[in-house]
């Protein structure tokens, strides 16, 4: 018999109702969460948790790469940046390289912040509201 977990049901329904842009934003947020957890694990010399979290971050970047439509020069540039981020995450994992981890994090933050702006602009154009659901300033 399956256990009815209201929180899990809520999370699943929330993800099912997201737009593709919002799902991409969720991927960036998840990637950043795992990068931060990996950094904490590095500081604590907990190499198993570091590895686990960096593999999760790498898998998110791989998902972003395979779902990216590379039919424009901008998209091709994004693919190259994703590949670079993936290589920095790999370096961080193999070599316990904090600088590589920070560099990857900076690029993911840039992508996330840019993507938030794109979503806000799109919502404003389509509905007259921003990400928070209220009117934008």
Q: For residue range 51-101, list pLDDT tens digits in order.
A: 999 999 999 999 999 999 999 999 999 999 999 999 999 999 999 999 999
pLDDT average, residue stretch 13-39: 89
**pLDDT > 90? residue 49:** yes
List Cβ<8 Å contacts ≥24 apart for 11-15: none
Between CA 45 and CA 59 the distance in angstroms is 22
Quote the DSSP letter at residue 133: S
CA pseudo-torsion sign 104, 57, 82, 117: negative
3-state secondary structure of 19: coil
Mean pLDDT of the chain: 89
**pLDDT > 70? residue 2:** no
Between CA 58 and CA 53 the distance in angstroms is 9
Q: Is the backbone of residue 45 left (phi > 0), alpha (psi -120 to 50) or beta?
A: left
From 19-23, 29-33, 55-59, the region with the lowest mean pLDDT = 19-23
The percent of residues above 70 in pLDDT, for the chain, comes to 83
For the whole model, what pTM was predicted?
0.80
Contact 37, 53 (CB under 8 A): yes
């Amino acid at each position: 018999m399956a256990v009815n977990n209201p929180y899990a049901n809520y999370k699943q329904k929330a993800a099912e109702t997201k737009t593709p842009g919002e799902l991409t934003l969720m991927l960036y947020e998840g990637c950043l969460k795992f990068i931060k957890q990996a950094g904490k694990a590095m500081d604590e010399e907990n190499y198993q948790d570091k590895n686990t979290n960096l593999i999760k971050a790498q898998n998110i970047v791989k998902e972003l790469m395979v779902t990216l439509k590379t039919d424009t020069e901008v998209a091709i540039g994004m693919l190259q940046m994703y590949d670079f981020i993936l290589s920095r995450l790999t370096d961080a994992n193999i070599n316990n390289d904090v600088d590589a981890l920070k560099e990857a994090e900076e690029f993911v933050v840039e992508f996330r912040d840019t993507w938030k702006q794109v979503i806000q602009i799109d919502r404003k154009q389509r509905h007259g509201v921003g990400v928070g659901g209220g009117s934008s300033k």
